[in-house]
Amino acid sequence: MTKQTHVFQAEVAQLLHLVTHSLYSNPDIFVRELVSNASDACDKLRFEALNAPELFEDAPELDIRVSFDKEAKTITIADNGIGLTEQEAIDNLGTIAKSGTRDFVSKLSGDQQKDSQLIGQFGVGFYSGYIVAHTIAVESRRAGAAKDQGVRWVSAGTGEFEVEAVTCEKRGTSITLHLRDDAMDYLSHFKLKSVIEKYSDHISLPILMQQEEWDKDKGEYVQMPDWNAVNSASALWTRAKKDISDEQYQDFYKNLSHDQDNPLAWTHNRVEGSTEYTQLLYVPAKARQDLWSRETKAGIKLYVKRVFITDDADTLMPTYLRFVQGVVDSADLPLNVSRELLQESRDMKAIREGNTRRVLSMLEDLANKSASDAPHAESDPAAENDISDVTAKEDGDAPAPKEDVYGQFYAAFGSVLKEGLGEDFANRDKLAKLLRFASNHTDTVSVSFADYKARMKVGQEAIYYITADSQAAAKNSPQLEVFKKKGIEVLLMTDRVDEWGLSFLPEFEGTPLQSVAKGAVDLGALQDEDEKKAAETAAESFKPMLDKLKDVLKDKAKDVRVTTRLVDSPACLVVEDGEYSTQLARMLKQAGQQAPEIKPILEVNAEHPLVKKLEGSPSFNDLAHILFDQALLAEGGLPEDPASYVRRVNTLLV
């Protein structure tokens, strides 16, 4: 192959422009990204060599080598991993459509601190080299290919790159960065070593650098031919928890997730018994950009006996816990595990259940801890040998929080957590304890079902709640009026998932959940006999008018009845118990899904002046329609014919 010039994909050119104009606020990141890519290349070789051991050629030991040349002003990061073919070099280094670059560019905010973490998330870490380099040269040979089938890729990071055939004695990839003048401080053994120790110490492969010795004649350190590892070269999750500091746990999370913030919590456990595995699971502090898509890839990497298998192991964690990041290392799964086996394996199901229990337990601990909690317990060496099939040692858990960490977690992930009510019946009761809501007694999303039950009035038989599009709409709903009058707490549920999730949770610890917008209001012992008699009398005396309202609104309302739930408003809409609410039906339609046609029940306040004015009014029909449409507006809906509603109101105003 002669030297060929190619033009970068448009998105790559845009990305390189951003990178070379200081997208990263911390230039050290390029070392982390390139070393991480080298580690991935070695993992891929090790995986492919399970079925084709000849790919190791004559070099079965995998490593990463970092070197520098002061005279040439270059840094080289080399690995003996899987390597690249000519076409792979063109595809992977010149076009990155598969990595979601278009989405990456669309999500840039202009905030360097926030934008810098996105490159790793979208799999375009190679281009971080242009933070410090004016030119990058890549030489690579695919494992198993002939020595003369190597490829050299060179680009100054502008609009083009060159590719040509070269001879490579060794398989793998070497990336040489030709440094810009403002990056010369990286031509230092101490500088590179410290950056590697900070960002890449967890890499399970040895990261080698040449030794340095002081040369008296030159008056400087010179590189020696010996290579030494500058990282621990052992997977962090395999180490004893007592030997891992909080900072090391946090640094590992940042490398794993490409997140610049520390995690809220983590748990590190070794489970032994019928299924043996190690889990290191993290709860992030913030939601990822793609969290709200249920197609989001799980954040768990699967290893088998420390060999990386896949980062697409969605069977390791239920969908509603997709925000969790971490690693699972199994001692039981076969190394050549397939996707089908992942989905069907009994061991995988046990690991999934164990991961779910650990995460829910971790969240429960966060929820129960207060600002005055003591620091987490010191590791107990004696506990290292405890073996349990269903429980795990907790001495590797994150330190206890000193602030409302659970409130921070719930603000970020509460909506996703609620999906578990309909997905994970086995843990439904645990999930119910983790839910938090605002109420008509507090604006903060901090009320648990247990808190509510502890404050229930004597004689109250249900946990009352209301669903709405917003907290303001819920708090000011006419359906809450009698509850406010009697001082009864009502939970305000404003997440789109709430009503769907609560359809799977009919009660909490024996107390039924009751929507105030479904069924006839029945406060039981909280409503005195005089109120009940007055309601019955009003319904009887008002019957002729109710019949007339039913006839006028027969196309809109399923029924019309007198209610005691209203105090200040003339009317409200409710549905029967067990039916979709009008709000849920609207949401389904907005999402393009089929929803049953729902005719709500119109409840009227017989004591309201507007309702009393209906009797004998020449504008009875118009007033009836206005009454219904205003009740619809009050709960966040829109009249089917807004123009007719406006016309009727204008007529009455005139």
CA atoms in the 13 A half-sphere facing the CB of 376 = 19
Question: The CATH number of the domain where 46 resides is what?
Answer: 3.30.565.10
Q: What is the pLDDT of residues 462-475, one digit of tens each?
A: 999 998 888 888 88
**224 and 241 part of one domain:** no
Q: Exposed, middle or buried: residue 227 (CB in 10 Å: 0-12, 13-18, 19+)?
A: middle
How far is Cα 520 from Cα 53, in angstroms, rounded to an integer? Answer: 72
Q: What is the pLDDT of residues 303-344, one digit of tens each?
A: 887 777 777 777 889 999 999 999 999 888 876 666 666 667
Q: Is the Cβ–Cβ distance between 253 and 299 less than 8 Å?
A: no
Q: Quick one: which of 552, 541, 563, 555 has its CA closest to 617?
A: 552
Collapsing DSSP to helix, strand or coil, 448 comes out as: coil
Q: What amino acid occupies position 142? A: R
**Residue 118 backbone phi and psi in degrees, to 5:** -75, -30
Domain end residue (candidates: 468, 496, 525): 525
476-498 average pLDDT score: 89
Q: What is the pLDDT of residues 493-549, one digit of tens each?
A: 988 888 888 889 999 999 999 988 887 766 766 766 776 777 777 778 888 888 899
Stronger pLDDT, 557 or 235, i.e. the higher one: 557
pLDDT on residue 335: 64
**505 and 517 part of one domain:** yes
**168 and 19 part of one domain:** yes
**Residue 89 backbone phi and psi in degrees, to 5:** -65, -45
**500 and 400 part of one domain:** no
Q: Is the Cβ–Cβ distance between 59 and 144 less than 8 Å?
A: no
Collapsing DSSP to helix, strand or coil, 384 comes out as: helix
**519 and 587 part of one domain:** no
Collapsing DSSP to helix, strand or coil, 276 comes out as: coil
Stronger pLDDT, 585 or 362, i.e. the higher one: 362
Which value, to the nearest 10 degrees, does the dihedral of the CA atoms of residues 337, 342, 344, 346 take? 90
Q: Using DSSP bridges, classify how beta strands 172-179 and 207-215 pair: parallel, antiparallel or unpaired.
A: unpaired
Region label for 326, one of left (φ > 0), alpha (ψ between -120 and 50) or beta (otherwise):
left
Which two tokens mark 116?
A: 């810098």
Collapsing DSSP to helix, strand or coil, 102 comes out as: helix
**520 and 532 part of one domain:** no
Q: Is the Cβ–Cβ distance between 202 and 236 less than 8 Å?
A: yes
**543 and 521 part of one domain:** no
**496 and 394 part of one domain:** no
Q: pLDDT band for position 116 (50/70/90)?
A: very low
**Distance between alpha carbon 620 and the CA centroid of its chain, in Å?**
53
Domain end residue (candidates: 469, 496, 525): 525
Stronger pLDDT, 530 or 347, i.e. the higher one: 347
Which two tokens mark 506?
A: 């009919």
**461 and 320 part of one domain:** no
**Residue 386 backbone phi and psi in degrees, to 5:** -65, 135
How far is Cα 152 from Cα 173, in angstroms, rounded to an integer? Answer: 10
Q: What is the pLDDT of residues 142-168, one digit of tens each?
A: 999 999 999 999 998 887 889 999 999
Domain that holds residue 574: 528-653
Query: By mean pLDDT, which of 9-23, 108-122, 277-291, 595-609 is the weakest?
Result: 108-122
Question: The CATH number of the domain where 511 resides is what?
Answer: 3.40.50.11260
How far is Cα 78 from Cα 174, in angstroms, rounded to an integer? Answer: 4
Task: Please determine, for residue 128, whether its predicted confidence score (pLDDT) is greater than 90.
Answer: no
Domain end residue (candidates: 191, 206, 229): 229
pLDDT on residue 100: 40
Query: By mean pLDDT, which of 107-111, 279-283, 353-357, 482-486 is the weakest?
Result: 107-111
**574 and 590 part of one domain:** yes
612-627 average pLDDT score: 87
**137 and 240 part of one domain:** no
How far is Cα 386 from Cα 315, in angstroms, rounded to an integer? Answer: 27
Contacts of residue 257, defined as CB under 8 A and 6 or more positions apart, other chains included, come to 121, 282, 284, 299, 325
Stronger pLDDT, 520 or 175, i.e. the higher one: 175
**26 and 90 part of one domain:** yes
What is the total count of domains within the chain?
4
Q: What is the pLDDT of residues 364-420, one digit of tens each?
A: 999 988 433 433 333 333 333 333 333 344 445 555 445 688 999 999 999 999 999
